[in-house]
């Protein structure tokens, strides 16, 4: 049995959670998320300096609430896991330094966690019998990438977007059609009311057998469509645009997922990241996996966005392998920084 505290502060959510491991099964004991979305909504996006300050204000209470919620004391913890990369550097530094202080002052082992890997590990909290190897697709505000995760819980990236992330593409169009930041969830709902075939848009799936996507083209095409309608004085059917845009993005992701499953021969797919909450993407991947006889493991919608429980889950695998961080642990904005474990 092990108890882990997971800490997350890479973007605009300050979160701490306690996860319990019993015989390899991970259970969420508490998961406290303080979201800054309302603060950043004013600016239409995350303002890094404001995010860092808001993390400083929230981190102590969030951590205390997570421990209280789990009914445990600091001394009960077997490890503290913290997101050290990638993300906004100032925001990450708040969580990393808080976790380092807590760990070293109380002699608790510290585990450094990659935020993208943490999204993938959220699946273990929902599907307790999930076992690697599997294909993982992370679709978030900052990333859209495919990984092969092997039996040792090692991650190998096999493809993804060449430019923007899917979440960023959703948020951008959501913003220009007047949806509140972040537009992803609202665009998802709006898309349910429109015709997915109404507006012709380019596919984000790059031609050929590469597991490669590009969202910049469809984003520009949607912006051009809106500008040209504006110039002609025409009203745009926002639901049709949301539906057509979503359908093209989902189709492209499903196409490349199918290819990745074929190329790797893996029988399990993990879908993770904030955009994994998208109802159209969830439904389309369910259809694909049913057709291919592949197991689909998705975290519950509540565990798709940034949260401390997924960090604790990823931290468990580092803890189990004895991969501990020391006082030199630093934060990094990069996906694969040198010198950070």
245 binds, among Zn ion, ligand KG4, none (CB under 5 to 8 A by kind): none
Q: How many residues bind Zn ion (CB under 5 A)?
A: 2
DSSP 225-256: HHHHHHHTTPPP-HHHHHHHHHHHHHHHHHHH
Token digits for 265? Answer: 């021969």
Which of ligand KG4, Zn ion, none does residue 90 bind to, with CB < 5 to 8 Å depending on kind? none
Q: How far is the CB of 49 from Zn ion (least distance, A)?
A: 20
Stretch that binds Zn ion, among 176-184, 191-199, 232-240, 300-308 (CB under 5 A): 300-308
Q: Which residue number, 109 or 273, has a Cβ lying nearer to ligand KG4?
A: 273
Q: Is 240 in the site for Zn ion (CB under 5 A)?
A: no
User: What residues make contact with ligand KG4 under the rule CB under 6 A?
Assistant: 11, 140-142, 167, 170-171, 182-185, 188, 273-275, 277-278, 305-306
**Least separation in angstroms between CB 179 and Zn ion:** 20
The tokens for 81 are 């896991």
Nearest to ligand KG4 of 103, 269 (CB atom): 269
Of 65, 71, 79, residue with least CA distance to 34: 65
CB contact at 8 A, 176 and 226: yes
Q: Which is nearer to ligand KG4, 242 or 261 (CB)?
A: 242
3-state DSSP assignment of residue 110: strand
> Encoding tokens for residue 39?
């603060």
Residue linked to tokens 């959510």: 13
Nearer to Zn ion, 30 or 307 (CB): 307
Q: Give the 3-state secondary structure of residue 210.
A: coil
Pick from 286, 316, 282, 288: which is nearest to 301 by CA? 282
CB-based closest residue to ligand KG4: 274
Edge-to-edge strand ranges of the sheet holding 268-272:
212-213, 155-161, 144-149, 134-139, 268-272, 295-297
Shortest Å, Cβ 30 to ligand KG4: 19
**DSSP β-bridge partners for residue 34:** 14
| Residue closer to ligand KG4 (CB basis): 66 or 250 | 250
Is residue 306 close enough to count as binding Zn ion by CB under 5 A? yes
Counting contacts by CB under 5 A, is residue 140 touching Zn ion? yes
- Tokens 């159209």, residue located: 280
- Name the minimum Å distance from CB 220 to ligand KG4: 18
Q: Is the peptide bond before 133 cis (omega within 30 degrees of 0)?
A: yes
- Whichever of 28 and 185 has its CB closer to ligand KG4, that residue is 185
Is the Cβ–Cβ distance between 45 and 321 less than 8 Å? Answer: no
CB of 341 to ligand KG4, least distance (A): 20
Closer to Zn ion by CB, 170 or 225: give it: 170
Candidates 72-80, 134-142, 159-167, 170-178: pick the segment binding Zn ion (CB under 5 A): 134-142
The site for Zn ion (CB under 5 A) is made up of 140, 306
């Amino acid at each position: 049995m092990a108890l882990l505290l997971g800490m997350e502060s890479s973007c605009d959510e300050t979160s701490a959670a306690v996860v319990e491991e019993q015989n390899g099964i991970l259970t969420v004991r508490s998961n406290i998320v303080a979201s800054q979305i309302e603060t950043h909504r004013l600016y239409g996006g995350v303002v890094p300096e404001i995010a860092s300050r808001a993390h400083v204000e929230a981190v102590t209470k969030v951590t205390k609430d997570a421990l209280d919620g789990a009914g445990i004391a600091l001394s009960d913890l077997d490890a503290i896991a913290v997101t050290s990369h990638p993300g906004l550097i100032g925001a990450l530094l708040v969580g990393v330094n808080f976790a380092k202080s807590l760990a070293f002052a109380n002699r608790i082992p510290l585990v450094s966690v990659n935020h993208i890997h943490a999204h993938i590990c959220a699946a273990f909290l929902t599907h307790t019998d999930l076992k690697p190897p599997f294909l993982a697709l992370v679709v978030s505000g900052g990333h859209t990438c495919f990984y092969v995760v092997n039996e040792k819980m090692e991650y190998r990236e096999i493809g993804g977007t060449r430019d923007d992330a899917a979440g960023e593409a959703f948020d951008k169009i959501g913003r220009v059609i007047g949806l509140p930041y972040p537009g992803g969830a609202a665009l998802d709902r709006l898309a349910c009311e429109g015709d997915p075939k109404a507006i012709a848009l380019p596919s984000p799936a790059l031609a050929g057998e590469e597991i490669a996507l590009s969202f910049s083209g469809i984003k520009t095409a949607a912006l051009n469509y809106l500008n040209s309608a504006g110039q002609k004085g025409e009203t745009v059917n926002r639901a049709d645009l949301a539906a057509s845009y979503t359908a093209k993005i989902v189709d492209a992701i499903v196409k490349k997922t199918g290819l990745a499953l074929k190329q790797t021969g893996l029988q399990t797919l993990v879908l993770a990241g904030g955009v994994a909450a998208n109802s159209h993407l969830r439904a389309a991947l369910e259809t694909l996996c049913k057709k291919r006889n592949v197991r689909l493991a998705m975290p519950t919608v509540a565990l798709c966005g940034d949260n401390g429980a997924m960090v604790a889950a990823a931290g468990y695998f580092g803890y189990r392998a004895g991969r501990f961080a020391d006082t030199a642990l630093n934060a990094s904005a990069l996906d694969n920084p040198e010198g950070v474990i």
